[in-house]
Chains A and B, each alone.
Chain A
Amino acid sequence: MRARLTDPQRAATSGRMTATGHEAGQSGWRARAASAVLVAGALALSGCVSVTAPDKPIVIELNINIKQEVIYRLAADAANTVESNPDIF
């Protein structure tokens, strides 16, 4: 879940880097196109920054789900452990 959220941000950053590289080597309409790409890249980048905001609650929720899942999976084994160690349980 987290990886999927983080990936677009990385893609946008590399896209912007490539656009800047083109701009340095070209001129005229290509430069304008490159700057358009740059603006798009910047927009995409700012979009990604806003995406990272709900990143934290999602991670916390995921941890709770994993824990509950683990406890459900362990329930039967835990019951066996309790029954086979009556001196300490």
Chain B
Amino acid sequence: MACVMKNLNSARSSLLFGAAALSLGALAAPAVAADYAAAKAAGLIGEKVDGYVAVVGAGDAELRRVVDDTNIKRRAVYASKAQEQHVTIEEYAFATGCTLIAKTEPGEKYQAPNGAWKTRGAGAPERDARCP
């Protein structure tokens, strides 16, 4: 009985959370998306090997907010896709990271397998040996 109650409660709270996230996302999305695209193109934000973004260099509070916001949304997408594919969130995120680093445009920053930030040039980026 206690178990059923707990499940019901968690289902209800995740529903509430989902609804809240949706409405928040709809309100905040345009401004953050513009910031994100601009910061990425300027090389202030870099793609990490693990499928998330990070601030390159010192950064500021606004940049960190954009990075955190993007990573939280990415993690939510990774979580649902990982569940569909029956893999861990880390595995799905890593696989996406391989794609994202491959798709970086010249001038954008990405993380090399050794952890160092690189600027994408004309050639292929340095990627983890496990990337397809």
CA distance A67 to B132 in the complex (A): 12
Q: Which residues of B contact A68 (CB under 8 A)?
A: 130
B1-9, B14-22, B90-98, B106-114: which lies at the A interface? B90-98
Q: Would B91 and A74 count as touching, CB distance under 8 A?
A: yes
Check A77–B85 contact: CB distance below 8 A: yes
Residues of B contacting A71 in the complex (Cβ-Cβ under 8 angstroms):
91, 94-95, 98, 130-132
Give the total of B residues in contact with A, Cβ under 8 Å: 23
- With A81-B96, A88-B36 known as contacts, the answer to whether A74 contacts B87 (CB < 8 A) is yes
A73 to B98 Cα, complex, angstroms: 13
Instruction: Identify 20 residue pairs between A and B in the complex whose beta-carbon atoms are under 8 Å apart, listed by A's number.
Output: A64-B130, A67-B91, A67-B94, A67-B130, A70-B91, A71-B91, A71-B95, A71-B132, A73-B85, A74-B85, A74-B95, A78-B98, A81-B77, A81-B81, A81-B96, A82-B100, A87-B32, A88-B33, A88-B36, A88-B74
- Interface, chain A (partner B; CB < 8 A): 64, 67-68, 70-75, 77-79, 81-82, 85, 87-89
Chain B interface residues (CB < 8 Å from chain A): 29, 32-33, 36, 70, 73-74, 77, 81, 85, 87, 91-92, 94-96, 98-100, 103, 130-132
